[in-house]
Amino acid sequence: MNPSFQLQGKNALVTGGSRGIGAAIVKRLAAEGANVALTYSSSPIRADEAVKAARDLGVKSVAIHADSADPAAVTGAVERTVAEFGGIDILVNNAGIAVFVPVENFKLEDFDRILAVNVRAVFVAIQAALKHMTDGGRIINIGSTNGDRIPMAGGSVYAMSKSALKGLVQGLARDLGPRGITVNNIQPGPIDTELNPATGPFAETLIKHLALPRYGTAEEVAGFVAYLSSAEAGYITGAHLNIDGGFAA
């Protein structure tokens, strides 16, 4: 382990941490010594597996059932994290959903849920966490390179939700800078997960848009989160950082 990444004594909350990128983030932060709480909405078995993996690394971990579309549940997850660990130093807003449908057929209820999960929940979690976060804390949103570039039809609402995080982060960086709290977006491109496998139906098309002809891994994104959580990244804030194999190049 690189000692410059050590997060011993830190307390983290990862939303949507039961599988894919979220589970990889939970495990990486735990490997760096942080206590990690995670939220899940529909995968209790996978959530328990992520918690066990974190505990096996010698840290405290807890799974919290919370639908990110419910503001009370999001706030409750922050409060539960603080109650379990005694504070919160790192907030990773990873929970997100996507619906790709041509705009003329897009249902308003899907529009509302995307904004509720991808945008409102991020704001609610940040607002709740700031009541407990110590100076020098870290807020990291998992956005998407589609916030900059959406090269396929049907993704307009998803792209809008991810681009909204850019304005939020830039404004928050000004608000929170005096406290030494950094706030940044990580913007992944195609990442090999269950929902978007590297051998899936979209892979051949997406790989054509990449400078590096492969999907990324959840562990690579998790490593980026660990860096932004570390003391070494203390001068990075208000940034939108791509990890996309050159998708937006």
Q: List the structure tokens of 213.
A: 């002809």
Phi and psi at residue 69, to the nearest 5°:
-75, -10
Q: How far apart are CA 7 and CA 205, in angstroms?
A: 39
Please list the alpha-helical segments (H only) found in 69-202: 71-85, 108-115, 121-130, 156-176
Report which of 32, 27, 37 is spatially closest to residue 8, judged by C-alpha positions: 32
Half-sphere exposure at residue 112, Cβ-oriented, CA atoms within 13 angstroms: 4
Residues present in the chain in total = 249
Q: List the structure tokens of 79.
A: 């409060």
Active-site hit among 40, 158, 215, 227 = 158
- Catalytic annotation on 40? no
Catalytic residues: 158
